[in-house]
């Protein structure tokens, strides 16, 4: 899908030749002297377009306008949620006509946030997964033009938005693929393909190298499956060598059956999404390659399957992590923290300015926050503030969660330095407390995306989150223009 930014006011929008024109209206619409404006004024006066976000008025071959079809889209207060609602409703309305091109026009100068929400909502609403269907109909929408009266001002945010959408779509593609089409080896190849892009490098470690590094926790999870593990390392080098990188660590469990502590059958298929953290890292790198910012970013993806077998790790087994800490694996279904803890130790070697891990880590986080906000854990004030800002700006929302030491009580055991599970209460937090033990050497943050990374039910599918959030955060670290 191609995006284009145009400088258009309401008068010019009327002259736009296109199949469909979506005119995005806010409550403060001011009519000018042009056919489009007077049409809008009449519709509003007649009460044919309610002042509720998502209200639509569909007009065929409007007299005096160049478009074949005009849809008036009510955004009301114009807040991000309303823009999403309006644009999603409009794209759903015109979907049956399978338009190849689409023009969206704002009635007045939007901010970068509204622009991004509009653009990403068009992408989201027109997305189709096709990879494993024999006769899939691909997305028909090929060209999307955005008309704003302030295009110069929005050029940079627009480029960022487009790159974010590309990243989101790559993340969705890998997350949506079934586990037999998205093995650790497939993910490694996807990462290596990214290394063809400018400033990106990729190294992949296999079992032998991982063993040599002493990643006993990661190895313990991987040992139950015949599918070979991969430890993927991506580098984006946009700044001087001595500039400390941000490290993004993505959980890459390509299928989580629970292992010997096996999960119930219902909805177990959704555990193909247990690599959404990894997919988001791939998505961020895709976007970085497009934007070429002057920062250094490292991506780490410990990837394997979590399966039961005669070789699988057993409840009660004690393993030694790369950090030297021993871990009693009381529940083999708490495998995410095991693969992550070794990657977090490995991250030390980059002397990072910050490390953020991204993981579909706990069902408890789904209960705590649902699908609206990802859980964010950090004991670093600067990182927390930067992430809160990125959350708002990207509208890929997260929410601060606590890390009080008392939450770690349940992780104590007599048989190892730490157990991999505590009780059920506060499960998202105790998981974070486990990870925190491995992050003493740098500012650290943890995103639990178990609720936000995919949707269940009829609209089952990956969301591509938190690519937008992460990208906003890493771009905020660019050196400001002099
Ligand atoms: N991948 C799951 C977390 C998960 C479960 C995400 C359901 C989304 C929906 C993770 O590996 C897991 O199984 N966590 C356990 C931890 C428990 C054993 C302490 C969980 O949340 O039940
Ligand atoms: Mn699990
Ligand atoms: Zn898992």
Domain assignment of residue 72, given as a range: 2-149
Distance between alpha carbon 302 and the CA centroid of its chain, in Å? Answer: 18
Q: Which of 256, 257, 260, 362 to mutate to test the pocket of ligand 1 (most atoms within 8 A of CB)?
A: 362
- Does residue 478 come out as left (phi exceeding 0), alpha (psi in the -120 to 50 range) or beta? beta
Distance (Å, whole) CA 356 – CA 447: 7
76 in a structural domain = yes
Instruction: Give the whole-angstrom CA distance, residue 260 versus residue 267.
Output: 18
Whether 412 is a known active-site residue: answer no
Q: Does the pLDDT of residue 193 top 80, yes or no? A: yes
Q: How far apart are CA 217 and CA 220, in angstroms?
A: 5
Helices 155-176 and 276-291: angle between axes, nearest 10 degrees: 150
Higher pLDDT, 241 or 479: 241
Helices (H), 334-379: 336-346, 363-369
pLDDT value for 479: 85
Average pLDDT over residues 230-259: 98
Task: State what percent of residues in the chain have pLDDT above 90.
Answer: 97
238 and 326 together in one domain: yes
Ligand 1 centroid vs 418 CA: distance in angstroms? 19
- Residue 435's nearest CA partner among 364, 335, 354 is 335
Residue 101 sits in a domain whose CATH number is 3.40.220.10
Residue 370 lies in a domain: yes
Based on the fold, state whether residues 240 and 114 are members of the same structural domain.
no
CATH of the domain at 211: 3.40.630.10
Residue from 250, 261, 333, 428 whose mutation best tests the ligand 1 pocket (most atoms within 8 A of CB)? 333
For residue 220, how far is its CA from the centre of ligand 2 (angstroms)?
Answer: 13
Same domain as 112, residue 176: no
Question: What spatial distance separates the first Cα and last Cα of the chain, rounded to whole Å?
Answer: 34
For β-strands 374-378 and 398-401, DSSP reports them as parallel
Phi-psi region of 442 (alpha: psi -120 to 50; beta: other; left: phi over 0): beta
Q: What is the pLDDT of residues 303-347, one digit of tens each?
A: 999 999 999 999 999 999 999 999 999 999 999 999 999 999 999
Note whether 202 and 192 are within 8 A (CB): yes
Task: Give the pLDDT band (50/70/90) at residue 250.
Answer: very high
Residue 282 shares a structural domain with residue 412: yes
pLDDT band at 302 (very low <50, low <70, confident <90, very high): very high
| Residue that is last in its domain, among 149, 174, 193 | 149
CA of 257 to the centre of ligand 2 (A): 7
Judge if pTM exceeds 0.95. yes
When pLDDT is averaged across residues 221-244 and rounded to a whole number, the result is 98
Answer with the one of 101, 124, 149 that is the final residue of a domain. 149
Q: Do both 332 and 464 map to the same domain?
A: yes
DSSP structural state of residue 246: E
Task: Say yes or no: 175 and 320 in one domain.
Answer: yes
Could you say which of 84, 145, 286, 337 is catalytic? Answer: 337
Task: Give the active site residue among 79, 143, 237, 263.
Answer: 263
Q: What is the mean pLDDT of residues 223-231?
A: 98
Q: What is the mean pLDDT of residues 14-19?
A: 92
Where does ligand 1 bind, in terms of residues with CB under 6 Å?
256, 274, 331, 333-336, 360-364, 366, 421, 427, 450
Percent of the chain with pLDDT over 70: 100
| 184 and 135 together in one domain | no
pLDDT (0 to 100) of residue 480: 84
Residues 397 and 462 reside in one and the same domain: yes
Residue bearing tokens 């977090």: 344
pLDDT bracket for residue 482 (50, 70, 90): low
- What ligand 1 atom has the least distance to the C-alpha of 263? 13
| Torsions phi, psi for 23 (to 5 deg) | -100, 115
Q: Is there a single domain that holds both residue 247 and residue 379? A: yes
DSSP per residue over 10-73, as a string?
HHHHTT---SEEEEEEETT----SSHHHHHHHHHHHTT-S-SSTT-EEEEES-TT-S-SEEEEE
Average pLDDT over residues 353-363: 99
> Is the pLDDT reported for residue 388 higher than 90?
yes
Cα–Cα distance, 332 to 306 (Å, whole number):
8
Q: Which residue has a Cα nearest atom 16 of ligand 1?
A: 334
Cis peptide before 466 (omega within 30 of 0): yes
Q: What is the average pLDDT score of the chain?
A: 97
Residues 66-82 pLDDT 10s: 999 999 999 999 999 99
pLDDT tens, residue by residue, 280-295 = 999 999 999 999 999 9
Whether 481 has a pLDDT exceeding 90, the answer reads no
Active-site residue flag, 263: yes
């Amino acid at each position: 899908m191609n995006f284009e930014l145009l400088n258009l006011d309401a008068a010019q929008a009327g002259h736009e030749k296109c199949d469909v024109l979506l005119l995005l209206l806010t409550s403060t619409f001011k009519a000018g002297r042009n056919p489009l404006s007077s049409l809008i004024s009449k519709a509003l006066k007649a009460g044919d377009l309610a002042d509720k976000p998502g209200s639509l008025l569909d007009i065929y071959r409007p007299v005096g306008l160049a478009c074949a079809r005009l849809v008036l889209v009510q955004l009301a207060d114009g807040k991000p949620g309303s823009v999403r609602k309006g644009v999603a409703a409009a794209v759903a309305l015109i979907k049956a006509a399978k338009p190849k091109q689409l023009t969206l026009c704002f009635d007045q100068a939007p901010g970068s946030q509204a622009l991004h929400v509009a653009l990403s909502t068009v992408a989201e609403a027109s997305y189709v997964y096709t990879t494993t269907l024999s006769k899939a109909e691909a997305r028909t929408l090929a060209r999307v033009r955005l008309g704003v009266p302030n295009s110069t001002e929005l050029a940079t945010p627009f480029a960022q938005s487009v790159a974010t959408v590309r990243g989101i779509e790559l993340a969705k593609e890998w997350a949506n693929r079934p586990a037999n089409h998205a093995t650790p080896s497939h993910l490694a190849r996807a990462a290596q393909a990214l290394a063809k892009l400018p400033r990106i490098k990729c190294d992949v470690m296999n079992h032998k190298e991982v063993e040599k590094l002493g990643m006993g926790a990661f190895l313990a999870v991987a040992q139950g499956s015949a599918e070979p593990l991969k430890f993927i390392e991506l580098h984006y080098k946009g700044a001087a060598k001595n500039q400390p990188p941000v490290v993004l660590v993505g959980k890459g469990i390509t299928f989580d059956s629970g292992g010997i502590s096996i999960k119930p059958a219902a909805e177990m298929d959704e555990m193909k999404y247990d690599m959404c953290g990894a997919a988001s890292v791939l998505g961020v790198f895709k976007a970085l390659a497009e934007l070429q910012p002057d920062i250094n970013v490292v991506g780490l993806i410990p990837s394997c399957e979590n399966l039961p077998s005669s070789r699988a790790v057993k409840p009660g087994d004690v393993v030694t992590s790369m950090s030297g800490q021993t871990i009693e694996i009381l529940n083999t279904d708490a495998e995410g923290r095991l693969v992550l803890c070794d990657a977090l130790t490995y991250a030390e070697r980059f002397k990072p300015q910050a490390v953020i891990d991204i993981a579909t880590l706990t069902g408890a986080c789904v209960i705590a926050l649902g699908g609206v906000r990802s859980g964010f854990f950090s004991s670093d004030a600067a990182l927390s503030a930067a992430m809160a800002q990125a959350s708002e700006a990207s509208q890929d929302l997260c929410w601060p969660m606590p890390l009080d030491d008392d939450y770690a009580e349940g992780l104590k055991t007599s048989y190892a330095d730490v157990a991999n599970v505590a009780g059920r209460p506060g499960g998202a937090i105790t998981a974070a407390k486990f990870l925190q033990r491995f992050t003493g050497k740098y500012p650290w943050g943890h995103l639990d995306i178990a609720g936000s990374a995919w949707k269940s039910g009829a609209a089952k599918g990956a969301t591509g989150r938190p690519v937008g959030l992460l990208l906003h955060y890493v771009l905020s670290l660019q050196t400001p223009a002099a």
